[in-house]
Amino acid sequence: MSRLGNLGAKLYRGEVGYDFVGKRFLWYGVSILITIVAIAGFLIRGLNMGIEFEGGAVFTTPKTSVSVAHAQEAAEAASGHDAIVQQVGGDKLRIQVSGIGTAESTKVQNKLAEDFGIKDASSINAQLVGPSWGKQIADKAWQGLWIFMVLVVVYLAIAFEWRMAVAALIALIHDLTITIGVYALVGFEVTPGTVIGLLTILGYSLYDTVVVFDGLKESSKDFTKQTRFTYRELANRSLNGTLVRSINTSVVALLPVAGLLFIGGGVLGGGMLNDIALSLFVGLAAGAYSSIFIATPLVVDLKERDPEVKAHDKRVAARRAAEARAAREGKGGQGHEGEADAEDDSSQDAEPAGAGSGPRRQPPRNRGRGRPSGKRR
């Protein structure tokens, strides 16, 4: 068995462990800090919305030797708007300009043909995208998001309990906020692929959280009938028991997404691959973090407000105090008995040196034992 497998087995059996719940305020602080940075990035920089949401035009040139940088400068000069240029097929360019209409599109098309040395401007393919279509996509995405959140809360409240439903909802909002903030800070374009990625990470994040909650539900079943562990300790043991499984699941999911992001998008210029891969990568990483460091500690904080849990924790503390007191008294009694035995041994050892110092100890007489009955002759 590998070292990771051995560690997982030890964590599952409770032989080793890390106090995740005990250090929950550290994780809360880290999450709050990251969330503040993400919200600040969103408010300051905003999201770079694609033409699918703002409207605009997409121009595809025929074979040309014009560089991407020169094409971007020419498109921005012709339109007066920001342009995104990507190389397609090795010798074609895809130029995306947001916020222009039909009349401006024709003007930009002719100007690009002139700058690129293309005789026939119509050979540059122009496609217009209206903002109403993007608004419809955005509205449907928000609608699907809210429906998903409501169904998640209802399901977790039925399958587990309402405290776990609240913790899972907070973890999902945490993951979405961080992902959107990273998009704002990096400046990647928000496309329908981004929306698909955001909706996808909700399922992955929820899966990790449910795995942890399922282990917590099993380990804390009828926990009030025992006085060995508090609810917090049971939650921490459960979290350690599912830790390796959660890490393995997250790493296996992150590896192909990292390939899409850094190789497919960064090296090969994958276009929409960047939009989907970035949201998936950030969301999966944030989901793995929140399921371990946020969801379970939140459940513990909410659960410890329950009077039944408070009473149980007091019984556990009372039992431990009694055991500690009994252990101290046992050690003390053993110490006195040892001292008495030592004194007896020392007095017996000292008797031959001072025979006249006190009465001598006589061995008990065995009268009448082993002697025949009758008169002694």
For residue range 327-359, list pLDDT tens digits in order: 888 776 555 444 444 444 444 433 333 333 344
d(CA 127, CA 120): 17
The mean pLDDT of the chain is: 78
Residue type, 162: W
Q: Is the confidence at residue 3, as pLDDT, over 80?
A: no
d(CA 249, CA 322): 43
Residue 93 CB neighbour total at 10 angstroms: 25
| Domain extent listing, the chain | 3-49+133-305, 56-129
Question: What DSSP character marks residue 101?
Answer: -
DSSP, residue by residue, 224-239:
GG-SSS-HHHHHHHHH
d(CA 311, CA 230): 10
Q: Is the confidence at residue 164, as pLDDT, over 70?
A: yes
pLDDT in the model for residue 357:
37
State how far Cα 93 lies from the chain centre: 40
For residue range 190-243, list pLDDT tens digits in order: 877 788 888 888 888 888 888 888 888 888 888 888 888 889 988 888 888 888
> Residue 345 has which token pair?
């041994």
| CATH fold label, 56-129 | Alpha-Beta Plaits (3.30.70)
Distance of CA 132 to CAs 49, 51, 52, 96, 128, Å?
A: 14, 11, 9, 18, 12
Average pLDDT over residues 96-114: 81
Partnered with residue 127 across adjacent β-strands are 58
Pick the CATH number of 3-49+133-305 from 3.40.50.10470, 1.10.10.10, 1.20.120.140, 1.20.1640.10: 1.20.1640.10
92 Cβ neighbours under 8 A, 6+ residues apart:
60, 61, 62, 63, 64
